[in-house]
Amino acid sequence: MQLQEILYTQGFGTRRVCAGLVQQGWVQVYAPGDGSSPQPCMDPATEFEPEGLRFRVQGRDWPYAQRAYIVLHKPSGTECSQKPSTYPSIYSLLPAPLRTRPQKSAVQGVQAVGRLDQDTTGMLLLTDDGQFIHRMSSPRHHVPKVYEVTVKHPLDARQTECLLAGVVLDDDPKPVRAAACEAAGAHHLRLTLTEGKYHQVKRMVAAVGNRVESLHRSRIGSLDLPAELAPGAWRWLTAAELVAVAAA
């Protein structure tokens, strides 16, 4: 594949823009399996095998990825929307190439796999793989998501038992149950859900007579939020992590 085409598929602009980046000396390419300094390439038509390719664009290293799978530590005070109404968008935390990766549909770039409220923090996945989004979001697949919940009033056994047995939310007569629920402290609830309804955690906690003070998603599937990711930081998922997040 030509270098300008590789850059285009990774979101670095139109083919003409990508060709210009190469011709202006902004692109260097790592030799396969070589961890040393990348070598400049001035010809946008130079052919490379894209799989496993690493390159540097305007001073930043990038891996070639046929599909992008990333994990973001969502900070409080951000919205999971490309057109936020009040708070900054989570997409503003990402570099431009991830936001502009070309797709066949009208929507471009990576998309959040589900949403977290503006005041909720923690693990958020983003990808440009529509099938992966469906697989992770569909309640039929029962992908567990773990939330660390700080509540206003002290927890008691009745509340956790009700959350496990099922509570009725105002817009759905069918009881909603937690897959797992434990009191990790007097005001700390660890809640595992396998579906995602609007404000679900907050509404479930309210249904048992308590109130959420803070909410943090710590795990998806079998993968914990990476400890090295500070709020607002992101990184690529490894192949092993990609398997772990989809583990039910």
Q: Where are the domains of the chain?
A: 3-63, 69-139+223-245, 144-220
Catalytic one of 117, 119, 128, 172: 117
Cβ-contact 231, 225 below 8 angstroms? no
> Residue written as tokens 């959040």?
112
Q: What does R_g of the chain's alpha carbons equal in angstroms? A: 21
Q: What is the pLDDT of residue 192?
A: 96
- DSSP conformational letter for 70: E
CATH number for the region 144-220 comes to 3.30.70.1560
- DSSP conformational letter for 240: H
Residue 96 corresponds to which amino acid? Answer: A
Identify whether 117 is a catalytic site residue. yes
Q: What is the pLDDT of residue 198?
A: 84
Q: Name the token pair of 217.
A: 């998603």
Q: Which H or E run includes 23? A: helix 15-23
Beta strand 54-57 pairing with 69-74: unpaired
CATH number for the region 69-139+223-245 comes to 3.30.70.580
Q: Please tell me if the domain spanning 3-63 has the same topology as the one spanning 144-220.
A: no
Q: Return the exposure string of 58-74: e unless at least 16 CB atoms fall within 10 Å of the residue's CB, then b.
A: eeeebebbeebbbbbbb
Provide the CATH topology of domain 3-63. Answer: 3.10.290
Q: What is the pLDDT of residue 226?
A: 95
Phi-psi region at 82: left, alpha or beta (left = phi > 0; alpha = psi -120 to 50)? alpha
What are the pLDDT tens digits along the chain (248 aa)? 999 999 999 999 999 999 999 999 999 999 887 678 899 999 999 999 999 999 999 999 999 999 999 999 999 999 999 898 899 999 999 999 999 999 876 558 999 998 999 999 999 999 999 899 988 988 778 899 999 999 999 999 999 999 999 999 887 788 999 999 999 999 999 999 998 888 899 999 999 999 999 999 999 999 999 999 999 999 999 999 999 998 76
Number of H helices and E strands in the chain, helices first, is 7, 15
